[in-house]
Amino acid sequence: MSTTPIKHVAITGGTHGNELTGVHLLKHWRNNPEEICRDGLVTELHLANPKANGCNRRYLDQDLNRQFNWDDLSDHSLCGYEHNRAKSLNTLLGPKDAPRVDFIIDLHTTTANMGTTLVIKSDDALVVGMAFYVKQQMPEVTLFYEPEDRMSDNFLISLAKHHGLLVEVGPVPQGMLRWDVFDQTRQATLHCLDFLAAVRRGDEPDLPESLAGFQYVDKLKLPENERGELTAMIHPDRQDADYQPIKPGDPLFMTFDGNSINYEGTETLYGAFINEAAYYDQHIGLSLMRKIDIRLPG
């Protein structure tokens, strides 16, 4: 893997303040630093949005994990709480155009039944390789491949030189901890560090040339009336069925009076972020994904 050596790794949590798993993993690792210590790596721990975490809210003014594209970081007329917090993190971990930190692992949770999902937003061999390595160790992991130019990507992980990896685990309600979710997040993160340490010492793991994953196609809004009020919710056939196929004609939503609304697409796709509580502010019901082969860059 012909990349410059990785040394500085940041693990971030609480980017969404009510996703407690990352917040408490950071506390755990502060008290048990040997668990994240790897020869050759300097790993730092950052609570990304302490104020939102203190209020047990996803964010105060705007979603922090959408504030990191280069133009927004450079725009000082954007002055909401999370706009400022993003600029502060850019100073701490970046700056984005010449980052101090090589790699960021950002810890998230979802209310959807997505198990452990690794969100890959880069075609960098190191990022894809890391995701492949974690899936080798934890075959139950799902890979979500959505490469984006690092400077225009608006995710926190895009601050680091090699981009990074977003670890998304569920289902868990906001504002609480579940052991299964906590432990899966912990394991996935430790595998990430193992991989970076192995690459650094030139002991690169054997990885497959390609693995199956999913790519984002579209998101579907929950049905609304003319006043913008919800009139339906996720259909029980779709609830908890993340990464299961959605075929033309399959029920998507159930109206409040019990009628089904069906999928009108012509291609069989797959659901993700089904009934994610955090997306109710925009009345988004689910994402549609396409199954793909993800190739490890040469």
- Rounded Cα–Cα distance for residues 68 and 89 (Å): 9
Residue 163, sorted as left (phi over 0), alpha (psi -120 to 50) or beta, turns out to be left
Least distance between its own copies and beta carbon 84 (Å): 22
C-beta of 228 vs 298, nearer to its own copies: 228
Show the tokens assigned to 246. Answer: 């959605």
Nearer to its own copies, 136 or 239 (CB): 239
Both tokens of 19, joined, read 């996703």
Considering the complex, state which of residue 97 and residue 183 has its C-beta at the smaller distance from its own copies: 183
Nearest to 204 by CA among 141, 104, 125: 125
C-alpha to C-alpha distance for 138 and 119, rounded to whole angstroms:
15
* CB 284 to its own copies: min, Å: 11
Of 88 and 256, which CB lies nearer to its own copies in the complex structure?
256
Bridge partners of residue 43, in order along the sequence: 9
Specify the residue, 154 or 174, whose C-beta has the smaller distance to its own copies.
Answer: 174
CB of 34 to its own copies, least distance (A): 11
Q: Quick count: other Cβ atoms within 10 Å of Cβ 282? A: 9
Amino acid type, 75: D
Quote the least distance from Cβ 238 to its own copies, whole Å.
9
CB of 240 to its own copies, least distance (A): 9
In the block, tokens 């994610």 appear at 276
Q: Which residue has the tokens 């009628």?
A: 259
- CA-based nearest residue to 274, from 265, 290, 285, 262: 285
Q: Select 5 or 50, whichever has its Cβ closest to its own copies.
A: 50
Q: How far is the CB of 246 from its own copies (least distance, A)?
A: 16
CB closer to its own copies out of 204 and 281: 281
At its nearest, how many Å lie between its own copies and the CB of residue 225? 9
What's phi and psi for 127, nearest 5 deg? -70, -50
Which residues sit at the interface with its own copies, rule CB under 8 A? 20, 24-25, 27-28, 32, 56-57, 111, 171, 173-180, 182-183, 229-230, 233-236, 239, 254, 256-258, 275-278, 280-281
Question: Which residue carries 């999913």 as its tokens?
Answer: 214
Take residue 67 and report the two structure tokens written for it. 């504030």
**C-alpha of 250 from chain center:** 27
